[in-house]
Structure 1
Amino acid sequence: MEVIEIDSRTFRELTLIAKAAGLTHGQAVAFLIEEFHRASSPAQVSQGVPDGIPVHATYQGQRVEGVFDTATGGLTVTSAPLPGKWFRSPSGAAKAVVAALKPDVTPNRSGYDFWFVNSTGKTLASIRSGR
């Protein structure tokens, strides 16, 4: 595990973010990084449902819907707990869903095994093409 050093002001801000979102400090850093990527991505969804392959995941008894973009490899969550949130990868989306629904567990997940294609019921890995 790598260690980073931050000043006390930054640590206080990170603590506020973590508490507000119900995350650990590490999860808050991961969340902020994902938000940075989402905000700087040209593939952001401006409105409506994005084009792509409808997918879903079930975690903690909750079904979460999404759309996988085969062109970019990104995934937009289209239902609670993160409606409208775009992620650079299915794994980023999976981690965010896990962190949102059960913040006390390590959110690391393989998105290609976490998400299922609605039309086939198979994992997203079943349509993965060299990514």
Structure 2
Amino acid sequence: MEKIEVDDATFRDLTLIARTGGLTHGQAVAFLVEQFHQWSGPAGPDRIAPDGVAVYATYQGQRVEGVFDTTTSGLTVTSTPLPGAWFRSPSGAAKAVVAALKPGVTPNRSGYDFWFVASTGKTLASIRTPARR
């Protein structure tokens, strides 16, 4: 197994992340790597499906909007705090929104319960198909 070295300040931050999430240092690093993979930066026009479903979430009193791709199950956040950020799953998007709006809180969330379909006000789970469960 490879080892990594980090400076003292980075180690303190990693310790804080680990304690906040009830994780080991290794699990905290894995979590951060997962977040890196799930958030691939600004979305191009090819990332937002033309038949995507408009969704929203309200967290810490802030409404966050996005578009859910029913084909890939990906979700693009279209408003602050992460405008243009694309995620492989609604849960990845939910975790990133929680982390951005309230750092230090364990961001684990079910995306299908966190996001709501804009046209109906029902949870995203209401349009989830068996293939995506």
Q: What's the counterpart of residue 35 of structure 2?
A: 34
Quote the offset at 1:7 in angstroms.
2.0
Paired residues for 1:13-32 under 5 Å? 15=10, 24=17, 29-32=30-33
Alpha-carbon distance change, 107 to 71 in structure 1, aligned in 2, over 3 angstroms? same
Report SS of the residue matched to 2:64.
strand
Whole-Å Cα distance in 2 between the matches of residues 50 and 62 of structure 1?
22
Quote the offset at 1:117 in angstroms.
0.2
Q: TM-score, normalised by structure 2?
A: 0.74
Amino acid at match of 1:34: Q
Aligned partner of 1:7 among 4, 7, 14: 4
Report SS of the residue matched to 2:35.
helix
Q: What's the counterpart of residue 82 of structure 1?
A: 82
List per-residue Cα deviations over 1:74-110 (Å, max 9, x = no partner). 0000000000000000000000000000011100000
Structure 1 residue 45 corresponds to structure 2 residue 38: no
Q: What's the counterpart of residue 22 of structure 2?
A: none
Structure 1 residue 55 corresponds to structure 2 residue 55: yes
Say whether the 8 Å CA contact 1:49–1:78 is kept in structure 2: no
Report SS of the residue matched to 1:107.
coil
Quote the offset at 1:116 in angstroms.
0.2
In structure 2, runs of 5+ residues without a counterpart are 19-26
Determine what percentage of the aligned residue pairs are the same residue.
61
Structure 1 residue 68 corresponds to structure 2 residue 68: yes
**Higher-Rg member (1/2):** 2
List per-residue Cα deviations over 1:42-77 (Å, max 9, x = no partner). xx8314982300000000000000000000000000
Which sits farther off after the overlay, 45-54 or 118-127? Answer: 45-54
Amino acid at match of 1:60: Q
Q: What's the counterpart of residue 127 of structure 1?
A: 127
The number of aligned residues is 118
Say whether the 8 Å CA contact 2:38–2:92 is kept in structure 1: no
Structure 1 residue 93 corresponds to structure 2 residue 93: yes
In structure 1, runs of 5+ residues without a counterpart are none
Quote the offset at 1:38 in angstroms.
4.5
